[in-house]
């Protein structure tokens, strides 16, 4: 699922010398003080490439995402009508499986938990606000946070990784999405993701 591309990147030297004010703040009653990367056992920066498939089932027997709000046009549409998701103003909450291959039965490596919302009036473009939570090997329990724009009809969409936790503490990067399959009858989608992330 993941491979480390390189060990040191000059632009991230910035972070080595960036004063950190988190560690040891609970030891005494000091609100803020200068810290060092050593206090957090920060290691040299790495670039990791993650590759997985995201499965979004809006309808079906066991939906992985549910429409929780929408504009006036979709108010009376049943939840099984996936076309409502494409209307401006719709909000969907997801807990979507991430797998190593495109088949739904492929090995689970994580989940995408969060919200997407139809935030463009002129095309189908989602605001994506979500956390990937990984389950695989040393990544188990670590998360990456995404905040970006997803114009789902474009061939490749790029969304910023704005942070992370665990192994991905202080992460920054980008996620590239390509639709692998889309069922125009029920809205089920499988999306291929290549995620490039700098972290320690
Ligand atoms: C999505 O729904 C299809 C049926 O439409 C099902 O075959 C597939 O397993 C589901 N995928 C997930 C990840 O739940
Ligand atoms: C991931 O961590 C959880 C909780 O610590 C544990 O129950 C689970 O077995 C771990 N999964 C893998 C694949 O290591
Ligand atoms: C698309 O969804 C419909 C309705 O659930 C289903 O009958 C059909 O088999 C699906 N098509 C594919 C290619 O999975």
- Please report the domains of the chain, with CATH numbers, ordered by start residue: 46-199 (2.40.480.10)
Burial class of residue 90, CB neighbours in 10 A (0-12, 13-18, 19+): buried
Once rounded to an integer, what is the mean pLDDT over residues 96-107? 97
Is the CB of residue 183 below 6 angstroms from any atom belonging to ligand 3? Answer: yes
pTM here is 0.84
- Give 128-162 pLDDT, tens digit per residue: 999 999 999 999 999 999 999 999 999 999 999 99
- Give 7-18 pLDDT, tens digit per residue: 544 444 445 444
CA of 111 to the centre of ligand 2 (A): 13
From CA 3, how far away is CA 64, in angstroms rounded?
28
Is the CB of residue 140 below 6 angstroms from any atom belonging to ligand 2? Answer: yes
Is the CB of residue 186 below 6 angstroms from any atom belonging to ligand 3? Answer: yes
Ligand 1 atom closest to the CA of 96, numbered from 1: 13
pLDDT band at 82 (very low <50, low <70, confident <90, very high): confident
Sequence-ordered alpha helix ranges (H) in the chain: 13-17
Query: What confidence score (pLDDT) does residue 164 get?
Result: 98
Task: Tell which wins on pLDDT, 22 or 122.
Answer: 122
Collapse the DSSP code of 168 into the 3-class scheme (helix H, G, I; strand E, B; otherwise coil) and give the result: helix
Query: What confidence score (pLDDT) does residue 19 get?
Result: 46
């Amino acid at each position: 699922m993941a491979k480390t591309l390189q060990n040191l990147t000059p632009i991230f030297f910035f972070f080595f010398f960036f004063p950190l004010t988190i560690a040891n703040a609970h030891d005494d009653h000091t609100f803020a003080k200068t810290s060092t990367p050593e206090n957090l056992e920060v290691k040299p920066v790495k670039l990791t490439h993650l590759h997985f498939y995201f499965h979004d089932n809006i309808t079906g027997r066991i939906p992985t995402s549910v429409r929780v709000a929408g504009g006036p046009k979709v108010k009376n549409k049943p939840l099984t009508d996936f076309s409502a998701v494409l209307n401006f103003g719709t909000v969907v909450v997801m807990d979507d499986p991430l797998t190593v291959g495109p088949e739904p039965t492929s090995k689970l490596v994580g989940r995408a938990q969060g919200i997407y919302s139809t935030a463009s009036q002129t095309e189908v473009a989602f605001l994506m606000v979500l956390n990937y939570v990984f389950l695989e090997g040393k990544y188990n329990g670590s998360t990456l946070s995404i905040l970006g724009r997803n114009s789902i009809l474009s061939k490749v969409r790029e969304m910023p990784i704005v942070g992370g936790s665990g192994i991905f503490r202080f992460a920054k990067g980008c996620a590239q999405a390509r639709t692998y399959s889309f069922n125009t009858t029920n809205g089920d989608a499988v999306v291929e993701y290549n995620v490039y992330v700098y972290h320690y």
